[in-house]
């Protein structure tokens, strides 16, 4: 039996273990800050789930009462797409538990399968999707109470197939991304899709203007895809409910029966992957041993940063090599330029592109957006080092030199980013004036110094191991993200108010001077906090090494 006494005991042991980990984490200040941050994010997810449920319930009530129940397909498509995409986005805010680590214990396969489903059912995306389906169900029941006896099972099957599909996607992506070549191909396709997706709206507005003829063409094109849409899960679920509303029980039962095929197919695919994992499938890539080359090995000279020691230069080179091998991070670095391109091709109300009348703000806006990459790059500086962080405490190098080297690499990346933005603004809009350029660079210098100061403290006080090569695993702890967002909010607010006031009074030079004064103060604070951060790191070295060495 699946729920035998031994299985229930295993579930209870896992639940107790997770509870004890949670309770023990509250004994530290970092754990309590993590808890506070999670409360805020949970509140946001709750508002999204409950608000969406109420809205979808009202809309579904209107559709059923006005005999437009076939339009329920649009609501179900929103839930279907959100349910599958939200888990990927939620990894930004939540820490995923690797349930494959449970395979080291004597679990039965049925217990392992149920545990994987249970963790999927507790995912924020799953809970929000289930709340939204409950809202639709309530709206249908309020419109036609007897219809609830049929709509509830249909929506329950729809929820089950979404849960299974999300687990299937994660399980198979894990398998495909285990190989380097497949990982690179899929990463390129994913990044290309994400970037291309941003241009759908602007291109439609530019090349498919709103008109009566365009609306007719849109309806004609959409009608061609209706048969395909009705054969997919959202369309089948909506058809099963719509036929029941229209008094066609045979068609409703047929659509419901076809809908049940999908969870069975997803169950088979998930069972195929999980059974392979359970039987000890090794997804690692073996590195072939290379034959020894006769003669002396060629030693290539390392990077030499003028004015800095060899140790600092070596760490800077190491940081560059880490980032150049990280596809997700390179994608993040390109996004500010992509955002400017979106502004360029998106037509405004006057028919011209966005920012066409305020092109002088394009460079400051792009610079402000580039600050967002500092969250992953600065506020968890040692996350990518993982267990290798212990080398910093073993080699004869002062820890402040390590911090300076990392900050120097981060500043160089921001410098390259600003150069890319300047060239993009010149090509897409118009070259910014010298005063705007000077004010933007001065503001970025101030923002960078403040971020480096706060980032050094958070990197030492609240480090977390990250994987720079995997999507969704480059994020610092939740408390660090919360503090970073607060720091960046203050910087954004101060910079935006200063630039807008200077532009309004036509005194951009005053803004540049003001930012330079703030940058000088920030530099003094940065230098004053370096020794303190070094002392904090030496006092917490055991905690830092233990945290970054976790598997």
What confidence tens digit (pLDDT) does each residue in 68-111 have? 778 888 888 888 888 877 665 554 444 455 566 666 777 777 77
- Alpha-carbon dihedral sign for residues 424, 429, 430, 435: negative
Helix H, strand E, coil C: the string for 291-312 is: CCCCCCCCCCCCCCCCCCCHHH
Mean pLDDT of 119-147: 84
Helix (H, G, I), strand (E, B) or coil at 364: helix
174: nearest Cα among 295, 55, 281, 64: 281
In a domain, 125, yes or no: yes
Given 235, 261, 278, the domain boundary residue is 278
- pLDDT of 524 above 90: yes
Distance in angstroms (rounded) separating the CA atoms of residues 172 and 179: 12
Residue with tokens 């939540």: 94
DSSP characters for 402-429?
A: HHHHHHHHHHHHHHHHHHHHHHHHHHHS
6-50 pLDDT tens trace: 667 777 777 787 778 778 877 776 677 777 777 877 787 788 888
pLDDT score at 273: 84
pLDDT score at 66: 80
Shared-domain flag, residues 374 and 466? yes
Shared-domain flag, residues 254 and 192? yes
- Alpha-carbon dihedral sign for residues 398, 403, 404, 408: positive
In a domain, 25, yes or no: no
pLDDT score at 105: 72
Domain span including residue 434: 310-548
212 pLDDT band (50/70/90 cuts)? Answer: very low
pLDDT score at 523: 93
For residue 347, which phi and psi values (nearest 5 degrees)?
-75, 145
Shared-domain flag, residues 161 and 119? yes
Residue 80 burial (C-beta neighbours within 10 Å; 0-12, 13-18, 19+): buried
Distance in angstroms (rounded) separating the CA atoms of residues 481 and 456: 14
In a domain, 490, yes or no: yes
Distance in angstroms (rounded) separating the CA atoms of residues 73 and 237: 7
pLDDT score at 522: 92
Encode 109-144: b = buried (16+ Cβ within 10 Å), e = exposed: eebbbbbbbebbeebbbbebbbbbbbbbbbbbbbbb
Helix (H, G, I), strand (E, B) or coil at 353: strand
In a domain, 16, yes or no: no
Shared-domain flag, residues 234 and 336? no
Shared-domain flag, residues 352 and 499? yes
357 pLDDT band (50/70/90 cuts)? Answer: low
In a domain, 171, yes or no: yes
| Helices within 350-477 (DSSP H only) | 362-370, 374-377, 390-394, 399-428, 434-461
- Helix 508-539 crosses helix 541-548 at what angle (to 10 degrees)? 100
Shared-domain flag, residues 357 and 492? yes
- Alpha-carbon dihedral sign for residues 137, 140, 142, 147: negative
pLDDT score at 288: 43
* Count of structural domains, the chain: 2
pLDDT score at 388: 83
428: nearest Cα among 343, 333, 332, 352: 343
pLDDT score at 520: 93
According to DSSP, residue 396 is labeled S
Using left for φ > 0, alpha for ψ between -120 and 50, and beta otherwise, residue 280 falls in left
Shared-domain flag, residues 328 and 458? yes
Shared-domain flag, residues 451 and 541? yes
Distance in angstroms (rounded) separating the CA atoms of residues 189 and 523: 42
CB atoms within 10 A of CB 161: 25
Residue with tokens 């986005």: 89
Residue with tokens 């020794």: 531
In a domain, 96, yes or no: yes
Distance in angstroms (rounded) separating the CA atoms of residues 94 and 501: 38
Q: Model's pTM, two decimal places?
A: 0.60
Structure tokens at 206: 């530019």
More confident residue, 140 or 229: 140
Structure tokens at 163: 């849960």
Shared-domain flag, residues 400 and 263? no
pLDDT score at 202: 57
1 pLDDT band (50/70/90 cuts)? Answer: very low
Distances (CA, A) of 195 to 89, 341, 530: 16, 11, 39
Report for 166-175, 429-438, 460-469: range of highest mean pLDDT: 429-438
450-504 pLDDT tens trace: 989 988 888 888 887 776 655 545 455 666 777 777 888 888 788 878 877 877 7
Helix (H, G, I), strand (E, B) or coil at 351: coil
Q: What is the dihedral of CA 201, 206, 209, 213, to 10 degrees?
A: -90
Shared-domain flag, residues 361 and 489? yes
Shared-domain flag, residues 340 and 192? no
Distance in angstroms (rounded) separating the CA atoms of residues 499 and 209: 35
| Percent with pLDDT over 90 in the chain | 8
In a domain, 19, yes or no: no
In a domain, 432, yes or no: yes
pLDDT score at 493: 83
pLDDT score at 98: 58
pLDDT score at 156: 92
Mean pLDDT of 315-324: 84
Residue with tokens 């349910």: 83
pLDDT score at 265: 92
Of the listed ranges 35-44, 324-333, 419-428, 522-531, the least confidently predicted one is: 324-333
- pLDDT of 249 above 90: no
Residue 382 burial (C-beta neighbours within 10 Å; 0-12, 13-18, 19+): buried
173: nearest Cα among 163, 159, 187: 187
Q: List, in sequence order, every residue forming a beta bridge with 347; answer none if it has no partner.
A: 353
Which residues have C-beta within 8 Å of that of residue 231, sequence separation ≥ 6? 258
| Percent with pLDDT over 70 in the chain | 74
Contact yes or no for 189/331 (Cβ under 8 A):
no
Shared-domain flag, residues 270 and 335? no
Distances (CA, A) of 339 to 171, 197, 255, 346, 447: 32, 12, 43, 11, 20
Distances (CA, A) of 535 to 36, 48, 134, 456, 463: 27, 43, 54, 12, 16
Contact yes or no for 85/132 (Cβ under 8 A):
no
Cα(first)–Cα(last) distance of the chain, in Å?
33
Mean pLDDT (the chain) is: 77
Given 278, 298, 320, the domain boundary residue is 278
């Amino acid at each position: 039996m699946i729920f035998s006494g031994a299985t229930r005991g295993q579930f209870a042991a896992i639940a107790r273990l997770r509870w004890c980990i949670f309770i023990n984490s509250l004994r530290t200040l970092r754990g309590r800050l993590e808890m506070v941050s999670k409360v805020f994010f949970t509140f946001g997810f709750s508002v999204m789930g409950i608000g969406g449920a109420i809205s979808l319930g009202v809309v579904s009530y209107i559709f059923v009462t006005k005999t437009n129940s076939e339009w329920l397909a649009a609501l179900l498509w929103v839930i279907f797409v959100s349910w599958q995409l939200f888990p990927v986005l939620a990894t930004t805010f939540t820490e995923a538990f690797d349930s494959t680590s449970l395979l080291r214990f004597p679990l039965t396969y049925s217990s392992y399968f149920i545990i994987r489903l249970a963790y999927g059912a507790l995912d924020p995306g799953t809970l929000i999707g289930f709340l939204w389906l409950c809202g639709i169900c309530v709206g249908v029941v309020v419109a036609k109470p007897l219809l609830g006896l049929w709509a509830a099972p249909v929506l329950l099957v729809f929820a089950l197939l979404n849960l299974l599909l999300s687990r299937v996607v994660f399980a198979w992506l894990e398998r495909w991304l285990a190989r380097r070549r497949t990982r690179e191909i899929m990463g390129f396709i994913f990044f290309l899709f994400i970037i291309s997706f941003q241009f759908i709206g602007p291109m439609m507005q530019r090349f498919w203007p709103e008109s009566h003829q365009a609306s007719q063409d849109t309806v004609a094109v959409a009608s061609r895809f209706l048969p395909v849409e009705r054969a997919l899960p959202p369309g089948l679920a909506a058809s099963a409910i719509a036929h029941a509303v229209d008094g066609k029980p045979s068609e409703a039962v047929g659509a419901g029966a076809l809908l049940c095929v999908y969870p069975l197919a997803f169950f088979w695919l998930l069972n195929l992957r999980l059974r392979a994992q359970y039987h000890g499938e090794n997804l690692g890539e073996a590195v072939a041993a290379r034959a020894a080359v006769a003669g002396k090995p060629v030693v290539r000279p390392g990077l030499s940063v003028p004015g800095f020691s060899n140790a600092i230069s070596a760490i800077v080179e190491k940081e560059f090599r880490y980032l150049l091998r990280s596809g997700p991070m390179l994608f993040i670095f390109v996004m500010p330029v992509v955002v400017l391109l979106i502004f360029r091709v998106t037509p405004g109300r006057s028919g011209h592109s966005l920012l066409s009348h305020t092109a002088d703000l394009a460079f400051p806006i792009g610079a402000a957006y580039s600050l967002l990459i500092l969250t992953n790059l600065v506020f968890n500086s040692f996350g990518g080092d993982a267990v290798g962080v212990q080398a910093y405490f073993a080699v004869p190098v002062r820890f402040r030199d390590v911090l300076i080297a990392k900050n120097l690499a981060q500043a160089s990346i921001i410098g390259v980013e600003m150069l890319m933005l300047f060239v993009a603004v010149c090509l897409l809009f118009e070259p910014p004036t010298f005063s705007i350029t000077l004010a933007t660079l001065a503001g970025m210098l101030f923002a960078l110094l403040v971020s480096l100061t706060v980032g050094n403290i958070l990197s030492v006080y609240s480090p977390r191991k990250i994987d720079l090569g995997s999507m969704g695993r480059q994020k610092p702890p939740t408390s660090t993200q919360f503090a970073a967002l607060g720091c960046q909010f203050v910087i954004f607010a101060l910079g935006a108010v200063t630039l807008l006031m200077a532009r309004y009074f036509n005194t951009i030079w005053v803004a540049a001077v003001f930012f330079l004064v703030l940058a000088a103060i920030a530099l003094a604070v940065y230098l004053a906090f370096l020794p303190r951060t070094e002392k904090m790191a030496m006092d917490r070295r055991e905690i830092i090494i233990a945290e970054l060495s976790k598997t």
